[in-house]
């Protein structure tokens, strides 16, 4: 079974985070959320307190993909953490999947794992992703980097992650309203 580690730090964007976790779990990916505090309830960007699974640790190295959702203040808080940047570098050096959306993409840039890779990001983020080949696509997968634009894109982002993990997202798409809305 494939495993996904999703980072949750105070100020994370709850709709991005929870939708990604939900979709990956529905697809059969063992998905856990990792926090950076003892209290299991992490305060989100909109003031929701959501329970996370466990404290961030070296255990994350055992996962197939590390996912960095967005959040106005979350990106800066994660960039300030050397352990997060080191973990992203570990994933990159070992050819493991790294996924970021919205301000999460700036964390990937700070970890210096995006050079020469095609990426997308939130509106106006081209200059915030130096060294990447910026694309206006909603969700992009290039080499070991998966990126997405922002709060309206958790579905295509999660589907790209599934594809990168070798999981066909079509059966899940067929069961969701996403297909009725002709999502791609």
pLDDT, tens digit, 9 for 90 and up, residues 40-88: 999 999 999 999 999 999 999 999 999 999 998 999 999 999 999 999 9
Q: Number of structural domains, the chain?
A: 1
Decide if pLDDT at 184 tops 60.
Answer: no
Contact 114, 134 (CB under 8 A): no
Q: Give the CA distances from residue 132 to residues 49, 58, 71, in Å, rounded to whole numbers and listed in that order.
A: 34, 27, 21
Q: Residue 118 is inside which H or E element, if any?
A: strand 118-119
Closest CA to 74 of 153, 2, 6: 6
Those residues with Cβ within 8 angstroms of residue 116's Cβ, 6 or more apart along the chain or in another chain? 131, 132, 133
Tokens linked to 116? 């020469």
**Which residue did the predictor score with more confidence, 152 or 100?**
100
Contact 60, 91 (CB under 8 A): no
> Domain with 29 in it: what CATH number?
3.40.50.880
pLDDT, tens digit, 9 for 90 and up, residues 125-134: 899 999 999 9
**Helices 154-164 and 14-26, axial angle in degrees (round to 10):** 40
Closest CA to 144 of 97, 104, 90, 85: 97
pLDDT, tens digit, 9 for 90 and up, residues 139-161: 999 999 999 998 889 999 999 99
Look up the pTM and report it.
0.95
Decide if pLDDT at 93 tops 90.
Answer: yes
Domain interval for residue 108: 3-180
Tokens linked to 163? 């594809």
Q: What is the pLDDT of residue 123?
A: 86
CA atoms of 85 and 77, how far apart (whole Å): 11
């Amino acid at each position: 079974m494939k495993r996904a580690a999703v980072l949750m730090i105070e100020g994370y964007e709850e709709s991005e985070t929870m939708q990604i976790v939900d979709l990956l779990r529905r697809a059969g990916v063992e998905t856990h959320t990792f926090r950076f505090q003892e209290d299991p309830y992490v305060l989100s960007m909109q003031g929701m307190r959501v329970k996370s699974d466990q404290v961030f640790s070296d255990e994350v190295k055992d996962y197939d993909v590390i996912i960095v959702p967005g959040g106005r203040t979350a990106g800066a808080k994660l960039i300030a953490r050397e352990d997060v940047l080191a973990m992203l570098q570990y994933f990159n050096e070992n050819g493991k999947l790294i996924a970021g959306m919205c301000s999460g993409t700036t964390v990937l840039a700070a970890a210096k794992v995006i050079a020469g890779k095609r990426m997308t990001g939130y509106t106006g983020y081209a200059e915030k992703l130096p060294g990447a080949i910026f694309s206006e696509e909603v969700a992009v997968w290039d080499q070991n980097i998966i990126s997405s634009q922002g709060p309206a894109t958790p579905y295509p982002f999660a589907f790209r992650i599934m594809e990168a993990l070798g999981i066909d997202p079509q059966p899940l798409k067929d069961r969701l309203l996403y297909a009725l809305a002709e999502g791609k």
